């Protein structure tokens, strides 16, 4: 089985396993106690904190360990907002942040605060000037991920940090996806990360709060982790997290070059072997091991099952899954195709043989799904009609686009097709289809049920 979902959770690094087992016998006691067992545990905890701080590029007393990366984000945002409550209750986030950031933003909005979402371009990247435009006198905090978890696009953190610093606003960076590859550049104020993203054990997160940043921990506190993360520290897991971070950093430069070559091979070859594919994300400024593409006329869940049967574990941001009826918020913000979306994220040590086998298997898997869904044939017979109505009400992604593709050849050049759909994904996927197929997307209009999408045949 080829595991291609390292952006969700990386396999446990061998160094993490060794450190975890070695510290089980020494790190079980309470590090706050003064007897011998407690002192041993304290030595392990302090050493792990120093190693993690060195990797981040901060002081050890600026870094605390939390129970997860999500908890680090929630704690960091809540504490920073509370610490600057006299300034105001305005929060800035990008439209493609991780759900943990967006959920914190929703909580602030529900409590009477205000949130500004900064848009991204079609590669998923923000413009630093857009953060400057969003800053206000009552802005308490800005958030920006270092790299996107779905499409791999790296963000201009240093430039955004400079804009925020000039305005006196702290910037929180979610570095979950990038920290294993190197420190985050720029004059940021807070940083979060998650150990299971770089090959450490799950259940360990990092929160860094720079000296001088106003921060007020929320909720019950105790003496643990500077009062910012209550609860008994999981010292063996923390030791394993810090040890594996140091280990992956030592391998990062060489491994990044190797994985970039493999993901570039996927980016180039997928459109060559599979028709009607859109490769998404920045082609250059991206994480080494992540490549994402979307396939027209494909049910994302069905494609994942086909690939799983062929021995590949991949993930998807497609709206065509049983868990959601709306597209990934990342793909929606980028304005790219969402149906049939596949994210390949190679783990450290991912092999060329597995990538080549994936490229061999993928065309057949896509073709099988398209055949089951009745995707359009290559040739169509034209018909002289001014307007053709396609009723796709009650049909979910990717069926509305498939039905559009089947009939576009039935109208004369210059005529319209009117697609009726009540699927939210159609609002994203129909314009994306038009761009990919060189047809004109005219716009949308209200309908008796759902929405009518207007497409003009150009070619």
Active centre residues (catalytic): 320
Residue 364 near residue 377, CB atoms below 8 Å: no
Largest separation between any pair of C-alpha atoms in the chain: 89
Q: Structure tokens of 399? A: 């069926």
- C-alpha 235/C-alpha 217 separation (Å) is 22
- Alpha helices of 198-313 — where are they, by DSSP H? 235-273, 300-309
- C-alpha 224/C-alpha 226 separation (Å) is 6
Residue 420 near residue 390, CB atoms below 8 Å: yes
DSSP per position, 443-456? EEEE-SSSEEEEEE
Residue 412 near residue 456, CB atoms below 8 Å: no
Residue 137 CB coordination number (10 Å)? 8
Q: Provide the β-strand partners of residue 343.
A: 292, 315
Kindly give the interhelix angle for 14-24 and 235-273, rounded to the nearest 10 degrees: 160
- C-alpha 53/C-alpha 76 separation (Å) is 17
312-313/290-295 β-pairing? unpaired
Q: Structure tokens of 317? A: 């941001």
Following CA atoms 383, 388, 393, 395 in sequence, which dihedral angle do they give, to the nearest 10 degrees?
Answer: 30
Vertex 434, ends 445 and 394: CA angle to 5°? Answer: 50
Closest CA to 284 of 156, 96, 117, 95: 156
CA 112 remoteness from chain centre: 27
190-194/205-209 β-pairing? antiparallel
Residue 334 near residue 280, CB atoms below 8 Å: yes
| Residue 12, helix vs strand vs coil | coil
Closest CA to 237 of 13, 7, 37: 13
Closest CA to 151 of 299, 285, 55: 285
Closest CA to 92 of 172, 23, 203: 172
CA 23 remoteness from chain centre: 32
């Amino acid at each position: 089985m080829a595991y291609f979902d390292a952006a969700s959770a990386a396999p446990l690094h061998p160094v993490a396993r060794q450190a975890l087992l070695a510290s089980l016998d020494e790190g079980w006691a309470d590090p706050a106690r003064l007897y011998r067992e407690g002192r041993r545990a304290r030595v392990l905890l302090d050493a792990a904190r120093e190693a993690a701080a060195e990797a981040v590029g901060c002081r050890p007393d600026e870094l605390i360990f939390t129970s997860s990366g999500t908890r680090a984000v929630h704690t960091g945002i809540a504490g920073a907002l509370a610490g600057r409550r006299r300034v105001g209750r305005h929060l800035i986030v990008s439209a493609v942040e991780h759900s943990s950031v967006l959920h914190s933003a929703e909580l602030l909005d529900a409590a009477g605060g205000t949130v500004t979402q900064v848009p991204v371009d079609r590669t998923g990247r923000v413009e630093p000037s857009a953060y400057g435009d969003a800053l206000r006198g009552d802005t308490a905090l800005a958030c920006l991920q270092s790299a996107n978890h779905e499409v791999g696009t790296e963000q201009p953190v240093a430039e955004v940090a400079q804009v925020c610093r000039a305005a006196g606003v702290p910037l929180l960076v979610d570095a979950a996806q990038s920290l294993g590859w190197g420190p985050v550049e720029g004059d940021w104020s807070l940083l979060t990360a998650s150990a299971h993203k770089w090959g450490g054990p799950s259940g360990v997160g990092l929160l860094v709060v720079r000296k001088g940043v106003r921060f007020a921990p929320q909720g019950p506190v105790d003496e643990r982790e500077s009062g910012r993360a209550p609860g008994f520290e999981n010292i063996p897991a923390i030791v394993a997290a810090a040890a594996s971070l140091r280990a992956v950093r030592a391998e990062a430069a060489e491994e990044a070059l190797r994985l970039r070559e493999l993901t570039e091979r996927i980016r180039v070859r997928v459109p060559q072997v599979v028709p009607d594919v859109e490769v998404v994300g920045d082609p250059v400024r991206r994480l080494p091991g992540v490549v994402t593409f979307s396939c027209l006329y494909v049910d994302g869940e069905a494609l994942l099952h086909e690939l799983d049967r062929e021995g590949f574990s991949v993930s998807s941001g497609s709206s065509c899954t049983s868990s959601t009826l709306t597209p990934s918020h990342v793909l929606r913000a980028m304005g790219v195709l969402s149906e049939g979306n596949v994210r390949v994220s190679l783990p450290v040590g991912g092999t060329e043989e597995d990538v080549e086998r994936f490229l061999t298997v993928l065309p057949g898997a896509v073709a099988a799904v398209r055949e089951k869904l009745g995707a359009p044939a290559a040739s169509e017979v034209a018909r002289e009609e001014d307007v053709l109505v396609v009723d796709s009400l009650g049909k979910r992604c990717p069926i509305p686009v498939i039905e559009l593709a089947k009939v576009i050849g039935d109208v004369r050049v210059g005529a319209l097709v009117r697609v009726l759909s009540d699927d939210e994904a159609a609002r994203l996927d129909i314009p994306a289809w038009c761009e990919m197929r060189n047809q004109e997307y005219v716009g949308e209009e209200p309908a008796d049920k759902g929405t009518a999408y207007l497409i003009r045949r150009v070619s």
